[in-house]
């Protein structure tokens, strides 16, 4: 019993089944999610060879609820509350592009003051979403303080939105034709003071998190997405901006009031995890300036909501409008056949597009980099499933 | 697709994660337009080129377009829109003329609106057209792939919303590349070799509308449950219970 | 050396917060103040009045039983049903049928589109959000329950000063 | 379940109570008392101050508390007391419990939140008891296919090993359970068991995430054991002994070793964080990647015991840091000496030593808690790189400093700085 052949002979004689060891046997299959603390409502199967990930297969759909089909059964206004469910933290933005597309189909124009308030709600919501995202990025890397601080500061923005829209997360505020209500009294001063406070807090975040050498070690140079790959994969939002593509829908295709606002597209060149995690912070800082300008330039009074029938319907046609949400370009493709109910609604969401980059980035990384890479893609499972 | 590719790459060159296509990347336009970005983290103020239409006018003018382009049903809207269209902006017209020059009658221009162009091709030409759009015009990624079911025509329309990152002046534009297939035996050639970014979109389209993309490596379940045994849910003859 | 500096900065930033007042809102003891009395809608101007979107309040003397709120809710949450109110003697002159909305808060999503739909200033929303109940039946609010004005008293709001933000 | 059963009757409840009391009385009179008398008959009673400690004498101390002092003193001298109470398990466990509470409050303060609040009137001080009750009352789930013996034994072994480290730490002059000449070596020998227990437990869980966690624990231990020992070795060079009590005494004679060996102290601190699996070195329990590492399959009191063990270990390593670098119990005398002719338990020197030792230990524990608030978890390759390349080199640098101090005649027998 010295050579392997003799062993095979022996096992054949005994009637045992012996399988030769293959390359696959060295790999360990790990199912990350849907009950994994580092996945969200999402599952991806990874295989690890030692400490390296050699295979990744995303498997979304755990929170798929058929938003696109549901839209075909409800009229334009009734679609709003359920359309904001995929990203309740960013519900103003997810309704924004829907409203824009419906407005294009129906043919109404939003009053100027309404456009400003819509943009304010959208920017505040971007802050809320990004702070929440940042908090989870912190806890994924084991930094519990970075979980608590943004979660606490997010409360400020949520309170502002609560005063503005009346609800903490699911606002149902940006509707076709404008916004539901005017801004309350004293909102402007409150908003300005809280933005100022938030800008001070961003420096603290940089001190404790972004400039922390341990965080830098974990993210710098990890999972680099080159510019060519980013374009080819069609990723969007902070992911593509981290790969030195300065694309922002607010700048590229300014909707509503954004062509009057002066701001810069924040982007970075490196394309690694650090850039992907730092660009959202830069975005938030830019968003603070945008908010200040919006509050400054807003007309003192005026209509906020165009007159709209309860069942708005336009001529048959198609429209594709997009906005820049917290996770990148968020587009709605709506086909109308002349009835109050849309004939077909298609959401093109940033999370779904960014998910394509996950297998490309994860393969070849260490297992410990998995949460850092996964969450740096600015991926929100519920939105991707729709 | 992703998995197969990844494994091959791993075998080839270890821990690299560069996606590879057989038919990849030589756009001359992107090289011309590419600015050298400043050092990181840096900012850049990007200007929308003046020759495109002022975007502030978009909702109103687009809405006007939609109004004038009224027709009985969306499938028929296509044909009539191109005729009743007001004069389209010059940049879009230039793009359309380039496409027309290359393909002639193979490509049907459905409408040209500010920032939006819709062209329709036959399924057998779509890969050629897509290659041209990517290589010569610079539409380098797909934002979404939407399928719409038209039971009246017994057809399914698939729309590729193509956008551009590499050409600055194309950034606000979305080109709708559409094609139609028979509803009973829905088959289309995949565009995955032209646009990597359509991989998951086409998979979603396959399971939601039942369009088989020939050449796509994984025509499989994606978002729906694994035990889904009904007809594809976004077809019009699938009804939600109780409605 | 830069990494050592980063460590020192992060330690400094962390320990600085040991002396800052805590941000937590101690909920049952403290409650946030809200703007206004709740979300309302002005049908004449066609625009809402900002406020918190909590439990509804129904004004019996204004409700005409037109069912517009129930129709608005139909595709959203299906939480509103119209029920017969009162006996034969009790007649409202504006509400001949005597039906009024009854809201199931197990289904309501608090979008407020029913308030937008009401053309008679009869249905508004209030600041009350403490609606938990032991059974699902208790979550269904009859028109009589909806007519009660809730008692909600918020006592704190966010205070931002030099040393940080806190609820006070 | 807070609700009463449907057929509840008060009479039956009282009856069952009386029935219970009856059985207790029966068992006490028929079983317990005879057993006690049998034991008293055979076991020789301890002799204190020339008097045999009979139960009668023992009971009289209730009336005359003065007479109990010699009894208590003699009890304080026993090994049982040292093992079970003062420098041993109870003291360690109390400090561990205090550590948990302080950690939660400290982190909460740093993160601008409140922390435990409702259990116990004052700032949730009884939260730990509530948590303990919860853990005890929870079901212990053993995964199918688990190696049951090891699965049950590992948590107990973990606590026992942690307590064994505590046994070697001198808390006050003469107050140490095992005053052996190779104390420092014994400490490291015992510390070497922890990754083994983690690995055994993770293997016994028959699950993937614990397995990865166990292997990570092993990697971490191997990478950090060597700088850990090397950093302590320079203390041995300075003091010339492996006995921990003598290490403290040699520091009392000269100065605290942290002044001569700051780099060693730093290396020791970093290595003990790695040994304790605390953030930033909590790779074996990294919850975002491998669920809870080798603790994934734990439930109920198994988890509680492992947590208790790891916090006792925290105390042990903090105390070791105090003994090696911060002069142990040394400190200015603040407790007044009371001159009294009568027998007294209070000893000013010992009280002073305990006070300073506890204070320093808590200081070091706070220092160990601090990184959890300010740093993320590091990756395993960076961890191994830190352990093998950087810390070993740093430890060697300071060892050469220590040797230079000895041969330069600054420290050591008859050195310049030796008082």
User: Which pLDDT score, from 0 to 100, does residue B83 have?
Assistant: 45
ipTM: 0.78
CB contacts, 8 Å: B70 with chain A: 315-317, 338
- Give CA–CA dist C128/C139, Å, rounded: 14
What would the pLDDT profile of A127-167 be if each residue is shown by its tens digit?
899 999 999 888 888 888 888 889 888 888 888 888 888 88
pLDDT band per the 50, 70, 90 thresholds, residue D15: very high
Distances, alpha carbon A6 to alpha carbons A12, A16, B67, in Å = 10, 13, 83
Task: Answer whether residue C75 shows pLDDT above 90.
Answer: no
- Give CA–CA dist B35/B58, Å, rounded: 27
Q: Which of C4, C117, C160 sits opposite A310 (nearest CB)?
A: C117
Task: Answer whether residue D242 shows pLDDT above 60.
Answer: yes
**D111/C contact by beta carbon, under 8 A:** yes
Q: Which of C18, C23, C24 sits opposite D110 (nearest CB)?
A: C18
CB contacts, 8 Å: A74 with chain C: 75-76
Task: Answer whether residue D75 shows pLDDT above 60.
Answer: yes
Task: Answer whether residue C93 shows pLDDT above 80.
Answer: no
Where residue D412 falls (left for φ over 0; alpha for ψ -120 to 50; beta otherwise) is left
D234 close to D402: Cβ distance less than 8 angstroms: yes
Q: Do D112 and C13 touch (CB under 8 A)?
A: no
Domain presence at residue D273: yes
CB contacts, 8 Å: B46 with chain A: 246, 248, 251-252, 265
**D2/C contact by beta carbon, under 8 A:** no
User: Which pLDDT score, from 0 to 100, does residue D139 have?
Assistant: 86
pLDDT band per the 50, 70, 90 thresholds, residue C88: low
Task: Answer whether residue A20 shows pLDDT above 70.
Answer: no
Task: Answer whether residue B50 shows pLDDT above 50.
Answer: no
pLDDT band per the 50, 70, 90 thresholds, residue D22: very high
Q: Please name the residue of chain A whose CA is at the shortest distance from the CA of residue C22.
A: A152
Domain boundaries, chain A: 4-56, 68-209+236-348
| Nearest by Cα to B120 from B87, B90, B89, B153 | B153
- Strands (E) across D343-392 are located at none
Percentage of chain A modeled with pLDDT above 90 = 1
Domain presence at residue D285: yes
CB contacts, 8 Å: C13 with chain D: 374
**A101/B contact by beta carbon, under 8 A:** no
User: Which pLDDT score, from 0 to 100, does residue B73 have?
Assistant: 40
**D16/C contact by beta carbon, under 8 A:** no
Distances, alpha carbon B235 to alpha carbons A245, B148, D352, in Å = 37, 8, 83
User: Which pLDDT score, from 0 to 100, does residue B117 have?
Assistant: 85
Q: Which domain holds residue D398?
A: 82-407
Q: Identify from B29, B59, B113 which residue to disrupt to test chain A contact, counting A C-beta atoms within 10 A and taking the largest count.
A: B59
What would the pLDDT profile of B178-207 be if each residue is shown by its tens digit?
888 888 888 888 888 888 888 888 888 888
User: What does R_g of chain D's alpha carbons equal in angstroms?
Assistant: 25
- Give CA–CA dist B213/B192, Å, rounded: 9
Tell me the shortest Cα–Cα distance from C161 to chain D, in angstroms: 15
3-class secondary-structure state, position C16: helix
Q: Do A152 and D113 touch (CB under 8 A)?
A: yes
Q: For D336-357, what is the mean pLDDT?
A: 75
The kind and range of the H/E element at D150 are helix D148-166
**C113/A contact by beta carbon, under 8 A:** yes
pLDDT band per the 50, 70, 90 thresholds, residue D30: very high
| Nearest by Cα to A334 from A66, A64, A72 | A72
| Nearest by Cα to A161 from A150, A170, A152 | A170
What would the pLDDT profile of B17-31 be if each residue is shown by its tens digit?
444 443 333 343 343
What fold characterizes domain B77-243? Beta Polymerase; domain 2 (3.30.460)
Task: Answer whether residue A201 shows pLDDT above 50.
Answer: yes
Please list, in sequence order, all residues whose beta carbon lies within 8 angstroms of the beta carbon of residue A317, skipping any fewer than 6 positions away: A105, A335, A336, B66, B69, B70, B74, B77
**A363/B contact by beta carbon, under 8 A:** yes
Q: Identify from B38, B77, B169, B180 which residue to disrupt to test chain A contact, counting A C-beta atoms within 10 A and taking the largest count.
A: B77
User: Which pLDDT score, from 0 to 100, does residue B34 have?
Assistant: 40
Structure tokens given for A155: 């409360």
**A47/D contact by beta carbon, under 8 A:** no
Tell me which residues of chain D have a C-beta less than 8 Å from any C-beta of chain A: 107, 110-113, 208-209, 212, 279-280, 282-283, 286-291, 372-382
Task: Answer whether residue C1 shows pLDDT above 50.
Answer: no
Which residue pairs, CB below 8 angstroms and at least 24 apart, start in B84-87? B85/B111, B85/B112, B85/B113
Residue with tokens 């209030």: C126
Give all chains having 3 or more CB-to-CB distances under 8 Å with chain B. Answer: A
- Give CA–CA dist A247/A36, Å, rounded: 33
Q: What are B117's strand-pairing partners?
A: B112, B175
Structure tokens given for D76: 């304080």
Tell me the shortest Cα–Cα distance from B82 to chain A, in angstroms: 12
Domain boundaries, chain B: 77-243
* Superfamily covering domain A68-209+236-348: Cytochrome-c3 Hydrogenase, chain B (1.10.645.10)
Task: Answer whether residue D102 shows pLDDT above 70.
Answer: yes
Dmax over CA atoms of chain D, in Å, equals 86
Q: Do A170 and C50 touch (CB under 8 A)?
A: no
Q: Do A218 and D107 touch (CB under 8 A)?
A: no
Q: Dihedrals φ, ψ of A364, to 5°?
A: 95, -10
Percentage of chain D modeled with pLDDT above 90 = 5
**D59 or C52, higher pLDDT:** C52
Q: For B156-165, what is the mean pLDDT?
A: 88
Q: For D332-351, what is the mean pLDDT?
A: 72
Q: Which of A56, A105, A226 sits opposite B66 (nearest CB)?
A: A105
Q: Which of A81, A207, A212 sits opposite C109 (nearest CB)?
A: A81
The kind and range of the H/E element at A73 are none
| Nearest by Cα to A103 from A179, A170, A183 | A179
Q: Which of B27-36, B117-126, B160-169, D155-164 has the lowest mean pLDDT?
A: B27-36
What would the pLDDT profile of C3-45 be if each residue is shown by its tens digit?
788 888 888 888 888 888 888 888 888 888 887 788 888 888 7
Torsion, CA C30, CA C36, CA C109, CA A175, rounded to 10: -140
User: Which pLDDT score, from 0 to 100, does residue B71 have?
Assistant: 37
Q: For A56-67, what is the mean pLDDT?
A: 86
Task: Answer whether residue B53 shows pLDDT above 60.
Answer: no
Between chain A and chain B, are at least 3 CB pairs below 8 A?
A: yes
3-class secondary-structure state, position B189: strand
Q: Dihedrals φ, ψ of A174, to 5°?
A: -80, 105
Percentage of chain C modeled with pLDDT above 90 = 0
pLDDT band per the 50, 70, 90 thresholds, residue B170: confident
Q: Number of structural domains, chain D?
A: 1
Q: Which of B165, B234, B240 sits opposite A73 (nearest CB)?
A: B240
Q: Identify from C12, C21, C24, C159 which residue to disrupt to test chain D contact, counting D C-beta atoms within 10 A and taking the largest count.
A: C24
Task: Answer whether residue D20 shows pLDDT above 90.
Answer: yes
Tell me what the pLDDT averaged over chain A comes to: 85
Q: Which of A27-41, B33-47, D312-326 has the lowest mean pLDDT?
A: B33-47
Q: Which CATH architecture has domain C37-150?
A: 2-Layer Sandwich (3.30)
Task: Answer whether residue B60 shows pLDDT above 80.
Answer: no
User: Which pLDDT score, from 0 to 100, does residue B62 have?
Assistant: 41
**A48/B contact by beta carbon, under 8 A:** no
Percentage of chain D modeled with pLDDT above 70 = 92
Task: Answer whether residue A246 shows pLDDT above 70.
Answer: yes
Task: Answer whether residue D336 shows pLDDT above 70.
Answer: yes
């Amino acid at each position: 019993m010295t050579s392997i052949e003799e062993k095979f002979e022996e096992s054949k004689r005994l009637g045992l089944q012996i399988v030769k060891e293959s390359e696959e046997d060295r790999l360990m299959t790990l199912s990350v999610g849907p009950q994994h603390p580092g996945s969200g409502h999402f599952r991806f199967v990874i295989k690890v060879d030692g400490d390296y990930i050699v295979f990744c297969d995303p498997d979304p759909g755990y929170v798929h609820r058929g938003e696109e089909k549901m839209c075909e059964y409800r009229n334009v206004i009734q679609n709003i509350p359920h359309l904001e469910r995929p990203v309740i933290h960013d519900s103003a933005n997810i309704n924004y592009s829907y409203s824009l597309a419906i407005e294009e189909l129906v043919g109404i124009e939003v009053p100027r003051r309404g456009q400003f308030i819509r943009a304010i709600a959208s920017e505040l919501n971007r802050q809320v979403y990004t702070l929440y995202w940042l908090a989870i990025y912190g806890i994924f890397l084991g930094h519990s303080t970075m979980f608590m601080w943004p979660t606490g500061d997010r409360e400020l923005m949520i309170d502002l939105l609560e005063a503005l829209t009346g609800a903490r997360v699911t606002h149902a505020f940006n509707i076709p034709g404008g916004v539901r209500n005017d801004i309350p009294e004293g909102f402007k001063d409150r908003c300005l003071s809280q933005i100022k406070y938030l800008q001070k807090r961003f420096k603290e975040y940089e001190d404790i998190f972004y400039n922390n050498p341990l965080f830098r070690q974990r993210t710098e140079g990890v999972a680099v997405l080159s510019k060519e790959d980013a374009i080819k994969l069609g990723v969007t939002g902070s992911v593509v901006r981290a790969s030195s593509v300065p694309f922002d829908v607010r700048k590229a295709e300014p909707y509503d009031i954004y062509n009057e606002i002066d701001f810069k597209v924040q982007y970075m060149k490196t394309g690694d995890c650090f850039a992907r995690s730092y660009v959202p912070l830069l975005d938030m800082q830019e968003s603070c300036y945008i908010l200040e300008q919006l509050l400054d330039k807003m007309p003192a009074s005026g209509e906020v909501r165009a007159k709209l029938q309860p069942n708005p319907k336009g001529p048959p046609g198609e429209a594709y409008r997009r906005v820049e949400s917290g996770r990148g370009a968020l587009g709605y493709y709506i086909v109308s056949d002349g009835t109050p109910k849309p004939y077909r609604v298609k959401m093109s969401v940033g999370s779904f597009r960014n998910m394509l980059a996950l297998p490309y980035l994860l393969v070849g990384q260490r297992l410990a980099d998995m949460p850092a890479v996964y969450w740096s893609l600015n991926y929100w499972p519920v939105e991707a499933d729709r | 697709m992703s998995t197969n590719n990844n494994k091959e790459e791993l075998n080839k060159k270890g821990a690299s994660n560069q996606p590879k296509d057989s038919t990849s990347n030589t756009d001359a336009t992107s090289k011309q337009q590419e600015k050298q970005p400043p050092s990181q983290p840096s900012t850049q103020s990007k200007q929308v080129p003046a020759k495109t239409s002022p975007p502030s006018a978009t909702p109103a003018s687009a809405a006007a377009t939609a109004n004038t382009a009224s027709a009985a049903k969306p499938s028929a809207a296509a044909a009539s829109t191109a005729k009743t269209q007001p004069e389209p902006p010059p940049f879009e017209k230039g793009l359309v003329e380039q496409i027309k020059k290359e393909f002639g009658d193979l490509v049907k221009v459905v409408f040209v609106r500010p920032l939006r162009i819709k062209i329709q091709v036959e399924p057998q030409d779509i890969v050629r057209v897509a290659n041209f759009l990517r290589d010569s015009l610079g539409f380098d990624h797909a934002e979404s792939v939407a399928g719409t079911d038209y039971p009246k025509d017994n057809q399914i329309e698939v729309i590729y919303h193509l956008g551009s990152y590499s050409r600055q002046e194309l950034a606000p534009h979305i080109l709708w590349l559409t094609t139609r297939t028979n509803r009973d035996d829905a088959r289309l050639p995949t565009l995955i070799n032209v646009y990597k970014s359509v991989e998951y979109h086409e998979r979603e389209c396959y399971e939601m509308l039942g369009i088989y993309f020939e050449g796509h490596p994984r025509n499989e379940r994606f978002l729906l449950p694994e035990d889904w045994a009904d007809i594809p849910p976004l077809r019009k003859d699938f009804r939600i219970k109780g409605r | 050396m830069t990494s050592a500096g980063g460590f020192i900065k992060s330690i400094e930033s962390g320990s600085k917060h040991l002396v800052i007042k805590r941000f937590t809102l101690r909920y049952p003891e403290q409650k946030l103040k809200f703007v206004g009395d709740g979300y309302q809608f002005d049908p004449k101007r066609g625009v809402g009045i900002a406020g918190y979107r909590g439990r509804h309040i129904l004004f019996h003397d204004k409700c005409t039983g037109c069912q517009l709120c129930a129709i608005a809710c139909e595709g959203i949450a299906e939480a509103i049903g119209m029920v017969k109110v009162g006996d034969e003697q009790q007649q409202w002159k504006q509400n001949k049928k005597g039906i009024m909305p009854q809201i199931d808060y197990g289904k309501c999503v608090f979008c407020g589109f029913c308030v937008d739909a009401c053309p008679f200033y009869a249905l508004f929303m209030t600041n009350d959000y403490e609606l938990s109940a032991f059974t699902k039946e208790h979550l269904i609010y009859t028109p009589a329950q909806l007519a009660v004005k809730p008692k909600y008293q918020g006592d704190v709001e966010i205070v931002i000063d030099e040393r940080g933000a806190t609820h006070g | 379940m807070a609700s009463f059963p449907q057929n509840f009757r008060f009479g039956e409840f009282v009856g069952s109570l009386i029935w219970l009391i009856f059985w207790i009385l029966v068992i006490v009179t028929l079983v317990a008392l005879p057993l006690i008398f049998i034991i008293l008959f055979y076991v020789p009673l301890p002799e204190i101050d020339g008097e045999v400690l009979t139960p009668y004498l023992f009971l009289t101390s209730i009336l005359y508390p003065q007479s109990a002092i010699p009894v208590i003193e003699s009890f304080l001298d026993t090994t049982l007391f040292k093992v079970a109470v003062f420098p041993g398990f109870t003291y360690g466990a109390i400090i561990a419990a205090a550590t948990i509470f302080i950690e939660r409050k400290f982190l909460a303060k740093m993160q601008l939140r409140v922390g435990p609040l409702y259990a116990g009137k004052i700032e949730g001080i009884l939260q730990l008891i509530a948590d303990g009750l919860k853990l005890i009352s929870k079901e212990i789930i053993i995964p199918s296919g688990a190696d049951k013996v090891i699965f049950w034994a590992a948590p107990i072994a973990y606590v026992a090993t942690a307590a064994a480290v505590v046994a070697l730490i001198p808390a006050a002059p003469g107050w140490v359970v095992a005053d052996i000449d190779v104390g420092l070596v014994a400490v490291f020998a015992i510390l070497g068991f922890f990754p083994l227990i983690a690995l055994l437990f993770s293997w016994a869980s028959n699950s993937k995430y614990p397995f990865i966690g166990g292997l990570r624990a092993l990697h971490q231990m191997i990478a950090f054991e060597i700088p850990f020992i090397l950093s302590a070795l320079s203390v041995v060079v300075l003091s010339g002994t492996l006995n921990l009590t003598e290490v403290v005494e040699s520091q009392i004679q000269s100065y605290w070793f942290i002044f001569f060996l700051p780099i060693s102290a730093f290396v020791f601190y970093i290595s003990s964080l790695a040994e304790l699996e605390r953030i930033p070195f909590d790779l074996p329990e990294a919850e975002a990647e491998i669920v809870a590492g080798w603790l994934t399959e734990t439930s109920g009191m198994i988890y509680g015991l492992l947590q208790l063990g790891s916090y006792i270990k925290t105390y042990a390593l903090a105390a070791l840091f105090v003994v090696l670098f911060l002069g142990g119990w040394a400190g200015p005398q603040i407790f007044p000496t009371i001159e009294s002719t009568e027998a007294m338990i209070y000893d000013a020197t010992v009280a002073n030593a305990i006070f300073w030792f506890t204070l320093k230990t808590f200081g070091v524990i706070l220092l160990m808690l601090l990184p959890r608030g300010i740093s993320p978890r590091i990756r395993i390759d960076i961890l191994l790189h830190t352990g093998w390349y950087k810390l070993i080199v740093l430890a060697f640098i300071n060892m050469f400093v220590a040797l230079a101090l000895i041969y330069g005649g600054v420290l050591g027998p008859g050195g310049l700085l030796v008082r």
